[in-house]
Structure formats: structure tokens, C-alpha cells
């Protein structure tokens, strides 16, 4: 449980970090909160000879809300997300979900950027960002580009981010209507057995907009396109909700692990999605 030797860099600007990444290529990795990276380094499951700590880069921090757009710096910690009263008022879904991540000690260090950029299907924030239809800002040697959260994840730990790019911030429009993030886990600090983020907007008893994404039920977060189609434009009665839940479960592809076999995870996915839809609807 001791990492191999590595060089430690602590740049104070994004350009500084990018130039280090460019210089050291495959041998370098950026570190944010470190909750995913440090354990694999300690087990020597990864060979990293240059660690680039983003902690001192002020441009990567902070939460701003203006003109209906929320922009969160990648190095904003989960604790800061929970603490922001403005965010809690504007997008209460963020606090609801963040409070279900691990425990306070983890959240003091864990960052939004690290959580979404790592591509770990067990992380909560990627699914949450797909629910919010967030956009990730990526900065690299060739400039800045944006990728939708719903397009970002390719497979477990494989994302649209290039090796020399840094995920710098996350933006999304302030959602309307009801919200919920539901998660079943074995204990505090655990990843989800199944989790779901839901947004629902209802007008005149008809679902106007909806969004559903699942966590840890496939090798990437699952945005439930079919379920959303079933909900939008319809009255959210029991048969419709059941149909949407079924569509979500069908979209999931969990694998068996110590949390349980596939049939259990799919069943619980259905229960959790239903709870999330019901809660969101009650708040819509």
C-alpha cells in the first residue's frame, strides 16, 4: 500500500497544468481530490511518474449562477456544493445528491470535476450531470471545447477527454419543476447499489419536460432516453410511470458484484427509479 516514486507538481494556472500534461504525456495525471487515484497508486495498479495537483489553481474553483446558468469550477468540493446556500436554493437537487456521496470526510476533499472526469460508473455526479444535461468545459493545448455530459462517457474510465485536456468547469441551465436523487447503498461511504436522478416539469397535469439518469447500473451513467419520451407530453398516471420505470430498467446493464446479482440490481433499479420519479413528481 505504498505508491511508487513520482514527481509532484503544483501549478497555479490552467495553462501551467496543461503544459505539464503536454510535457509528460502518458506519464502524467492530474489529481483533484484524489479519492480514486490515490488508492490505485497505493496498490501500484497504475504507473504515474508525474502527479499534477490542481489544488492551487484558482480559476478552477467557485460557483456562479447568472442568467439561469449555473457554472461550477471543477475543483469545487462536494462539501462546498452542499454549503452553497445559493445553489441549494436554485438547484436543490445538487445538495440532495451530494449529501448521499460517501461521508463528510470524503466530501471535504472530493471535487465535482474529479468525480465527473474519472469516468468511474460508480460515481454519483456523472449520472446527476446527465440528469441536469450539463456541459463539461475541457481545456487543452489546442484551446477550449465543450462536451455534453450525456456524450462524455464511453466506457468505464474511458471518456471523451483527451489525455492532455483538463476538465475545467461544469455548466447547466437551472432546471424547473420537481427533482429527486435516490440512492440505495449498503452503508455510509459506499457506492450505489442503484441510484437515479430525476427532473420533472408538469404543466396542466401534463409532463412538460423530464430527465432521468442512473448511477452504477452500467459501465457508464445511463441517460434514460426512452423513459423520458414516455413521460413527456403525457399525464403522469400509474401506467405511464410504470412504463417509464420499465424503460429505465431495460436501459440498465448492471454486472454482478459483492452488492448482488444482476436480477437483484435490476429489481432495485426499478424501485429506486420509481421512488425518484414519485418524489420528483410530488415536488413538481
Partner 1 sequence: MNETIPPKEERMTALNGLGSSRKRVEDARFTQGKGNYVDDIKLSGMLFGDFVRSPYAHARVKSINTEAALAVPGVHAVITAADLEPLKLHWMPTLAGDVQMVLADGKVLFQGQEVAFVVADNRYAADDGIKAVEVEYEELPVIVDPFKAELEGAPVLREDIADKKEGAHGPRRHPNHIFTWESGDRDATESVIAEADVVAEEMIYYHRTHPCPLETCGSVASMDKVNGKLTVWGTFQAPHAVRTVASLISGIAEHNIRIISPDIGGGFGNKVGVYPGYICSIVASIVTGAPVKWIEDRMDNLMATAFARDYWMQGKISATKDGKITGLWCHTTADHGAFDACADPTKFPAGFMNICTGSYDIPTAFLTVDGIYTNKAPGGVAYRCSFRVTEAAYFIERMIEVLAIKLGMDSAELRVKNFIRKEQFPYQSALGWEYDSGDYHTAWEKALTAVNYTKLRQEQAERIEAFHRGETRKLIGIGLSHFTEIVGAGPVKNCDILGLGMFDSCEIRIHPTGSAIARLGTISQGQGHATTFAQILASEIGIPAEDITLEEGDTDTAPYGLGTYGSRSTPVAGAATAMAGRKIRAKAQMIAAYLLEVHDNDLEWDVDRFVVKGAPERFKTMKEIAFASYSQAIPGVEPGLEAVSYYDPPNMTFPFGAYICVMEVDVDTGTTEIRQVFALDDCGTRINPMIIEGQVHGGLTEALAIAMGQELAYDELGNVITGTLMDFFIPTAWETPNYQTDYTETPSPHHPIGAKGVGESPNVGGVPAFSNAVHDAFKSFGLTQSHMPHDHWRVWKIADRLGLHD
Q: Contact residues for partner 1 (CB under 8 A)?
A: 1-2, 4-5, 44, 103, 184, 186-191, 193, 258-261, 263-264, 267-268, 271-272
Q: How far is the CB of 13 from partner 1 (least distance, A)?
A: 31
Q: How far is the CB of 2 from partner 1 (least distance, A)?
A: 4
Contact present, 17 and 57 (Cβ < 8 Å):
yes
Q: 237 is written with which cell numbers?
A: 398516471
Q: How far is the CB of 43 from partner 1 (least distance, A)?
A: 8
Q: 224 is written with which cell numbers?
A: 434514460
CA angle 22, 157, 196 (to 5 degrees): 135
For partner 1, the closer CB: 62 or 267? 267
For partner 1, the closer CB: 148 or 190? 190
Q: Please, how many CA atoms are within 13 Å of residue 67, restricted to the half-sphere of its CB?
A: 1
Pairing of strands 7-9, 50-53: parallel
Q: How far is the CB of 6 from partner 1 (least distance, A)?
A: 12
Q: How far is the CB of 208 from partner 1 (least distance, A)?
A: 30
Q: How far is the CB of 161 from partner 1 (least distance, A)?
A: 26
Maximum Cα interatomic distance, the chain, rounded to a whole number of Å:
62
| Phi then psi dihedrals of residue 78, to 5 deg | -65, -35
For partner 1, the closer CB: 79 or 259? 259
* Cα–Cα distance measured from residue 71 to residue 90, given in angstroms and rounded to the nearest whole number: 12
Q: How far is the CB of 45 from partner 1 (least distance, A)?
A: 12
* Cα–Cα distance measured from residue 273 to residue 180, given in angstroms and rounded to the nearest whole number: 10
For partner 1, the closer CB: 79 or 265? 265
For partner 1, the closer CB: 141 or 261? 261
Count CB atoms within 10 A of the CB of residue 158: 11
* Cα–Cα distance measured from residue 73 to residue 172, given in angstroms and rounded to the nearest whole number: 12
For partner 1, the closer CB: 21 or 272? 272
For partner 1, the closer CB: 206 or 262? 262
Tell me 33's DSSP state: S
Tell me 8's DSSP state: E
Amino acid at each position: 500500500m505504498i505508491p511508487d516514486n513520482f514527481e509532484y507538481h503544483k501549478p497555479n494556472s490552467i495553462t501551467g497544468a496543461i503544459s505539464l500534461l503536454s510535457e509528460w504525456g502518458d506519464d502524467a495525471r492530474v489529481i483533484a481530490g484524489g479519492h480514486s487515484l490515490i488508492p490505485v497508486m497505493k496498490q501500484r495498479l497504475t504507473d504515474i511518474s508525474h502527479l499534477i495537483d490542481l489544488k492551487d489553481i484558482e480559476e478552477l474553483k467557485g460557483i456562479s449562477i447568472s442568467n439561469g446558468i449555473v457554472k461550477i469550477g471543477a475543483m469545487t468540493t462536494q462539501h462546498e456544493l452542499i454549503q452553497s446556500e445559493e445553489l441549494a436554493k436554485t438547484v436543490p437537487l445538487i445538495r440532495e445528491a451530494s449529501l448521499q456521496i460517501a461521508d463528510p470526510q470524503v466530501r471535504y476533499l472530493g471535487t465535482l470535476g474529479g468525480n465527473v472526469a474519472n469516468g468511474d460508473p460508480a460515481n454519483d455526479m456523472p449520472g446527476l450531470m446527465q440528469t441536469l444535461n450539463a456541459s463539461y468545459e475541457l481545456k487543452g493545448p489546442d484551446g477550449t471545447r465543450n462536451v455534453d455530459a450525456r456524450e462524455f462517457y464511453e466506457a468505464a474510465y474511458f471518456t471523451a477527454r483527451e489525455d492532455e485536456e483538463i476538465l475545467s468547469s461544469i455548466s447547466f441551465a437551472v432546471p424547473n419543476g420537481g427533482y429527486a436523487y435516490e440512492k440505495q447503498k449498503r452503508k455510509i461511504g459506499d457506492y450505489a447499489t442503484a441510484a437515479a436522478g430525476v427532473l420533472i416539469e408538469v404543466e396542466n397535469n401534463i409532463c412538460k419536460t423530464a430527465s432521468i439518469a442512473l448511477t452504477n447500473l452500467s459501465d457508464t451513467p445511463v441517460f434514460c432516453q426512452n423513459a423520458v419520451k414516455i413521460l413527456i407530453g403525457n399525464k403522469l398516471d400509474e401506467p405511464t410511470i410504470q412504463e417509464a420505470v420499465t424503460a429505465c430498467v431495460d436501459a440498465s446493464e448492471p454486472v454482478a458484484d459483492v452488492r448482488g446479482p444482476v436480477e437483484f440490481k435490476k429489481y432495485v433499479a426499478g424501485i429506486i427509479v420509481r421512488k425518484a420519479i414519485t418524489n420528483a413528481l410530488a415536488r413538481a
